[in-house]
Amino acid sequence: MSDILNPLRRVWSKNRTALNAWVAVPSILSAEAMASAGWDAMTVDMQHGTADYADLLRLLPIIEKSGAAPMVRVPWVDEAHIMRALDAGALGIIAPMIQNAADAERLVSACHYPPQGGRSFGPVRARLAWGNDYPARANEELVVLAMIETAEAVDDLENILAVPGLTGVYIGPADLSAAHGHTPGFDPTEPEIVELIEHIRSRTAKAGLKCCLHCGTPSYAREAEAKGMEMVTISSDARFVEAGAKQVIAEFRQ
């Protein structure tokens, strides 16, 4: 167990639900403030967040130093973005808008060195961050999560889950809700979406893979944990700042 390189996999080896931070702001100071809270993993969002590749090189060392697993949500299922994030030192990739098994196969291939995949060799920073044996261990250490957030993905879920090398799925409730005719947002309560999330979780568990959920509040995340989610994300750094500022102003003006 102690030989596991990836902090997120160490959490899972203890049968514990991991708590993931969402980093939308590419600031060294805010990343350090977030990291000080003691998350199990921290994900830099390069899809809807504002970080670029240069920011990634500044943020990943902060996450590593905190002891959390450094993760990246890439902008799309794109081999170049995925491989560059991994070479920079990310130990996990979350890929958005996975529609079908073919998308999942592309994702998995980009994350794994041959013969398991087609990742090009060149761990320019990953080797410095994780040791000279990183290339030999990367395939078994990396966490590869396909986002399930469209009607097409739900329809092809069984085939997506059957893709070898996939670690699990990451449910995006906002797009999932929008795809089924509901208002997009976190912590959905509509029976259709609640049942759909449970459907995804149960099928993922049956396949022996990890199921993760993006949440807006700790209470919703605790409920998700109780239902069997293996990683929960709560809000984001930008939303924490917004909520904290509003709370201070509201208390002052009262």
- Domain ranges within the chain, ordered by starting residue: 7-253
Q: CA-CA distance, 75 to 53, in Å (whole number)?
A: 11
Q: pTM (2 decimals)?
A: 0.97
C-alpha distances (whole Å) from 253 to each of 163, 245, 246 are: 55, 12, 11
| Phi, psi of 24, deg, nearest 5 | -100, -20
User: Which residue is listed with tokens 């070479």?
Assistant: 87
Residue 46 in this model has a pLDDT that exceeds 90: yes
Q: What is the pLDDT of residue 47?
A: 98
* Cα–Cα distance measured from residue 21 to residue 34, given in angstroms and rounded to the nearest whole number: 8
Mean pLDDT for the chain overall: 97
pLDDT tens track for 158-203: 999 999 999 999 999 999 999 999 999 999 999 999 999 999 999 9
Catalytic residues: 48
* pLDDT given for residue 102 in this prediction: 98
Is the pLDDT reported for residue 1 higher than 70? no
Fold of 7-253: TIM Barrel (3.20.20)
Q: Quick: pLDDT tens for 85-124.
A: 999 999 999 999 999 999 999 999 999 999 999 999 999 9
| The token pair that represents 248 in the structure block | 């201070």
Under 8 Å between Cβ of 249 and 206: no
Q: Are 226 and 185 in contact (CB under 8 A)?
A: no
Query: Mean pLDDT, to the nearest integer, of 131-160?
Result: 98
CA-to-CA separations, 125 to 5, 7, 229, in angstroms, rounded: 16, 18, 32
